[in-house]
Amino acid sequence: MTDTTMSAIPGIESFVVTPDGLGTSLRISIARPSGQAASLASAAASVVYVMDADYSFGTVVEAARMGHYAGEVGPAVIVGIGYAEERGDYAFVGYRRALDFYRGPRRSLDMPGLGKLELGGAEAFLAALLDTVAPEVGRRVPETLNAGRILFGMSAGGHFAAYALTQRPDAFSGYAMLSPALVDFPPAPGDEQMVEAVRALPVGTIPSGTAVFLSAGAREEEPGEGLAAASIISNAYRMRAALAAHGVSTELAIFTDETHISVFGAAVTRALRFLVPPQGVPSW
């Protein structure tokens, strides 16, 4: 069902889907290219699937539209994947993303300040994304059917992006792993489980032409930072090397004086510029 509520961002279509086996409903938001790009919809080069849409969709949409207006980003349809039960205080998404974005086995983890979290449902969430969300987007926006698919994920969403790459490397042509938690929680210093999973892929598993953008804030491993134990910067470098061994084109950006949270806006613009270049100007 389409949500007819007025959006603060013009040109947004929103609807709810309830994938089998997921246990919750997803709110999907679609932003088509605006302005002159809208007249070129049939030529849209990319469809960008954005995890954590409840607090990142607007940032990605406006960065994509401004980047296209300035000639730095190609035309793209942005698809936000959020939760129908989220009410704006991040209470629901804060609980649910831990379950949906981390790979199995299912487990519980007590997190100071966050209470008990459930983890280990990434398999079901990937099935929901590929079997329910993507087909419905294709039905509503036919120009995305032949467009390159790109997956954006931050932090736990970056873990999910890496998981999707290892499980269904044919499903997306590009990945943005922004400050990715490339470890199984709870982390221990030196853990690099998702990097190891990429290293273990047989040669030729990742399709030719796949591209991955990696980023982190330079302060993310400083003492006292909340996710310092996840080795986000160190593992971003390790992941880049692991991907390069498979022939994957990569870009890695470390942003000076930024934290796990403050880095997001800058990382989005750089990721779009790399993964969605202006048509006829490939960057990878």
pLDDT confidence band for 148 (50 / 70 / 90): very high
Of the pLDDT bands very low, low, confident and very high (cuts 50, 70, 90), residue 7 is low
| 123 burial level (CB within 10 Å; 0-12, 13-18, 19+) | middle
pLDDT tops 80 at residue 282? no
Q: What would you measure as the largest C-alpha separation in the chain, in angstroms?
A: 50
Taking residues 111-123, report their average pLDDT: 82
CATH number at residue 173: 3.40.50.1820
pLDDT over threshold 50, residue 272: yes
Range of the domain at 151: 2-275
The reply to whether 186 falls in a domain is yes
Residue of 198, 150, 158 whose CA lies nearest to 182: 158
**Mean pLDDT on 195-205:** 97
| pTM for the whole structure | 0.92
Give the pair of three-digit tokens for residue 160: 């999910």
Does residue 80 form part of some domain?
Answer: yes
Identify whether 74 is part of a domain: yes
- Rg over alpha carbons for the chain, rounded to the nearest Å, is 18
pLDDT of residue 43 exceeding 90: no
Residues of 7-23 as b/e, b for ≥16 C-beta within 10 angstroms?
Answer: eeeeebbbbebebeebe
Rounded to the nearest angstrom, the gap between the alpha carbon of residue 141 and the centroid of all alpha carbons in its chain is 20
Tally of structural domains, the chain: 1
Residue 141 pLDDT > 50, yes or no?
yes
Q: Is residue 284 part of a domain?
A: no
In a domain, 146, yes or no: yes
Q: What is the pLDDT of residue 205?
A: 97
Q: Tell me if 238 is assigned to some domain.
A: yes
pLDDT band at 44; cut points 50, 70, 90: low
